[in-house]
Structure 1
């Protein structure tokens, strides 16, 4: 596993106490990403007293709507809207956990990015996500749209360093054995060769 050292710059930038964990997400503010469940999960974790701050990176058509929802929930001091960033590759390694509530996703490439950054993931059991996040092997899956289930999974994972290490190691191994450019290129080439051979195109 590649070791990615946290630099603490998000703690400094947003004045987050060092003893607080950072739980983050990177995605466009669109309906499919289900930020409502994300905010509701934060509300549940806040009620439980988890010492964490929550960062949303991204922009989109629903951004103002979600900001208003956060105000309605009284979570303005807990959820940080970081906006568009061109240093996401530096931000993700600063997360202690990646919380991904998207309710319909082809594969969830950002999950693979989290693996590369050694960040454990809790994600929705939706779409193609279970093909890249193996439940209790490379991360934890939660029921779509269920903030209580998400909060339970986050709470279990954030408090269990052994489980985090297991997922970091397995996630990085999964990435390196299934999703590098070389491996994907080889798979695509094999499919093309099969199509050519089956259709007598040569």
Structure 2
């Protein structure tokens, strides 16, 4: 009886996040008779790992300390010799260097995905990091960017050849994230933490520097100043946890906004909470194709976001939302104010966003892309 091929997913940490959500969705939804899965975390994993529904999926934490950690390469080589995976799927810069250990260990297929960049290098210009990626091209069978912006960067900056550069769009489950704004605005599900007639600006994501939540709070302050007649209705909800959460809580408190800004930390009911938002906001300084934007659009929310990374490929300015060229609190506030002033525009752009996700960013299309990639690479190489 033929053994089902094993895919090892190598990531920095299995925790709440867009990349991690996609990883879990792929593991849960990929046919069990096609591929088995294991997740190797360079550092650790959290309760988020329980979202993996298959109890047979092995999750391994290497507890890597900060720094080079040369011993981690040896540990991964030994692990791969024991697991004998058919496919190694690495994610982002922190994991790509271990494709060399996988090659030496005899892993036949090596796939590397680029989901976005760090705040320390939002434009992908760090020459040391780029040199590392370039040197590892011979050991990677396929690079998978999740946006055309990242695909072009891999081509022009990293010099990944076209035959090794495959765009697979992120996808979202439109059955889980349901359109809420097909009904009049005053009938939208009220948020339990705000009065029912409020205009709620929602944001969901890990509270870290690349997401620039401090800038979003500044924009909210500007919005309140721009629209004094609407000030009593304006609310901001930022859902998520992360290293900068204490800092933004201090910012909110010092601005006297504790009664109008909700910072609950991580939540398991994001799909339901999104239905309490009026609009969705993302103030990031770097992104790939954010899954949370797709989820917001599937919910029927217009998206106000910075024009970075793959966001402009998803959010069409003045059709499904509004884009701000470079983050500016006043410009961002003015973009938000258009929806406060015109509820009909909010509903129109939200409906267009839902339609765009349904037609081009489905979870089924994403799964088809990854399964097809594994199939083709495994067929062309000795895998077991």
Cα distance, 1:144 vs. partner?
3.0
- Residue 28 of structure 1, aligned match among 186, 206, 209: 206
Hey, what's the Cα distance between the residues in 1 that align with 2:250 and 2:349? 34
Cα distance 1:74–1:3, how it changes in 2: closer, same or farther (>3 A)?
closer
Aligned to 2:112: none
DSSP-derived class of the 2:300 partner: coil
Cα distance, 1:143 vs. partner?
3.0
Deviations 1:73-122 (A, max 9, x none): 22222211122211111000110011111111111111110111111111
Aligned to 1:136: 318
Q: Is residue 2:329 matched to residue 1:147?
A: yes
Aligned to 1:176: 358
8 Å contact kept, 2:304–2:336: yes
Cα distance 1:182–1:158, how it changes in 2: closer, same or farther (>3 A)?
same
Tell me which structure has the larger Cα radius of gyration: 2
Aligned-residue CA RMSD in angstroms? 2.3
- Residue 45 of structure 1, aligned match among 215, 219, 223: 223
DSSP-derived class of the 1:94 partner: coil
8 Å contact kept, 2:179–2:298: no
Cα distance, 1:3 vs. partner?
4.4
8 Å contact kept, 1:97–1:158: no
**Does 1 or 2 have the higher relative contact order (CA < 8 Å, sep 6+)?**
1
DSSP-derived class of the 1:119 partner: coil
Indicate the structure with greater helix content: 1
Hey, what's the Cα distance between the residues in 1 that align with 2:353 and 2:292? 12
Unmatched 5+ stretches in structure 1: none
DSSP-derived class of the 1:127 partner: coil
Deviations 1:167-193 (A, max 9, x none): 122211111111112222334456567
TM-score by length of 2: 0.47
DSSP-derived class of the 2:289 partner: coil
8 Å contact kept, 1:101–1:144: no
Hey, what's the Cα distance between the residues in 2 that align with 1:63 and 1:109? 21
Q: Is residue 2:290 matched to residue 1:108?
A: yes
Aligned to 2:246: 64
Cα distance, 1:201 vs. partner?
5.6
DSSP-derived class of the 2:275 partner: helix
8 Å contact kept, 1:22–1:96: yes
Cα distance, 1:24 vs. partner?
1.1
TM-score by length of 1: 0.86
Hey, what's the Cα distance between the residues in 2 that align with 1:144 and 1:72? 26
Deviations 1:27-52 (A, max 9, x none): 11100000111110111012222321
Q: Is residue 2:277 matched to residue 1:99?
A: no
DSSP-derived class of the 1:112 partner: helix
8 Å contact kept, 1:34–1:145: no
Q: Which moved more, 1:75-84 or 1:88-97?
A: 75-84
Cα distance, 1:196 vs. partner?
8.0
Hey, what's the Cα distance between the residues in 2 that align with 1:85 and 1:193? 36
